[in-house]
């Protein structure tokens, strides 16, 4: 993510929310003591950033309904085939009408897990505003499905990417067996991060997200298998 964009996003967030200086610095890549702590929860491995100088984990909890910043500053809404099926039905479209009227193609690259995993994607994405253009892809827009109370008009069929935010996930193969991983996106939009000496504080959240992220990854796999999206993952840690 562009550093200037990130800086203005976290500065703007800091005007509305009290952001711990250490999390502010982490977001801007100013900490050189960040270690990845891997935690297995059910079928998933979570990669929790750890500030080793302070001996603290970076944890998260959602502040909704006090906050709906991720919907107000939404950058992109890539859809799984399951999203396409359930949202088209909710909006009373056929699948084809929904794709023609409410979506566009987005292509972008992501870097996860401290820059070790690079993912290139091309996906059908839900338009956040009716006349969304290619130039607006990745730039923050207030999503048209956000209502005046801060709720999503698509709920409970909101897109999988919204359900798993601020996590991002990827799959690796170990001895031919897929392993799903997840870590946080620090994109300057979410005020829900906090520091703690124990990740037990986040145990219930990790338990809940371990299930929905696995489900989301299965949906993403089906999406690419059925030709509704393209994903290429390069895990630099597995390179010699």
Question: Which residues contact ligand SF4 (rule: CB under 6 A)?
Answer: 62-64, 67-71, 74, 77, 143, 145-146, 152, 154, 158-159, 162, 165-166, 189-192
Minimum Å gap between C-beta 45 and ligand SF4 is 21
Q: Classify residue 174 by burial, with Cβ atoms within 10 Å: 0-12, 13-18, 19+.
A: exposed
Minimum Å gap between C-beta 177 and ligand SF4 is 31
Q: Classify residue 79 by burial, with Cβ atoms within 10 Å: 0-12, 13-18, 19+.
A: buried
Q: Hey, which residues does 123 pair with through a beta bridge?
A: 106, 229
Nearer to ligand SF4, 118 or 127 (CB): 127
**Helix spans in the chain (H):** 3-16, 21-27, 69-72, 81-90, 95-102, 160-164, 203-225
Q: Which of 107, 100, 98, 99 is nearest to 76 (CA)?
A: 107
Neighbouring CB atoms inside 10 A of 209's CB total 22
Minimum Å gap between C-beta 163 and ligand SF4 is 8
Q: Which residue has the tokens 């338009």?
A: 127
DSSP secondary structure code for residue 18 in this structure: -
Nearer to ligand SF4, 157 or 172 (CB): 157
Q: Which of 4, 1, 60, 55 is nearest to 33 (CA)?
A: 55
Secondary structure of residue 100 in the 3-state scheme: helix
Nearer to ligand SF4, 90 or 222 (CB): 90
Nearer to ligand SF4, 72 or 116 (CB): 72
Minimum Å gap between C-beta 144 and ligand SF4 is 7
Nearer to ligand SF4, 44 or 67 (CB): 67
Minimum Å gap between C-beta 193 and ligand SF4 is 8
Minimum Å gap between C-beta 168 and ligand SF4 is 12
Nearer to ligand SF4, 65 or 227 (CB): 65
């Amino acid at each position: 993510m562009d550093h200037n964009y990130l800086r203005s996003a976290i500065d703007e967030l800091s005007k509305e929310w009290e952001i711990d200086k250490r999390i502010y610095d982490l977001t801007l890549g100013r900490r050189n003591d960040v270690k990845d702590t891997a935690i297995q929860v059910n079928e998933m491995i979570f990669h929790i950033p750890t500030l080793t100088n302070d001996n603290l984990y970076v944890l998260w909890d959602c502040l909704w309904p006090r906050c709906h910043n991720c919907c107000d500053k939404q950058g992109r809404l890539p859809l799984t085939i399951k999203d396409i099926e359930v949202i088209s039905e909710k909006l009373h479209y056929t699948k084809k009408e929904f794709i023609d009227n409410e979506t566009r193609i987005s292509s972008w690259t992501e870097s996860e897990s401290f820059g070790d995993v690079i993912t290139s994607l091309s996906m059908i994405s839900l338009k956040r505003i009716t006349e969304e253009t290619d130039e607006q892809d990745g730039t923050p827009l207030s999503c048209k499905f956000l209502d005046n109370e801060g709720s999503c008009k698509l709920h409970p069929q909101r897109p999988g990417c919204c359900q798993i935010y601020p996590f991002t996930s990827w799959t690796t193969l170990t001895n031919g067996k897929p392993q799903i991983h997840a870590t946080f996106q620090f994109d300057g939009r979410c005020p829900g991060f906090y520091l703690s000496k124990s990740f037990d504080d986040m145990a219930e959240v990790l338990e809940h997200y371990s299930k929905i992220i696995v489900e989301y990854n299965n949906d993403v796999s089906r999406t690419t298998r059925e030709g509704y999206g393209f994903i290429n993952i390069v895990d630099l840690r597995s390179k010699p």
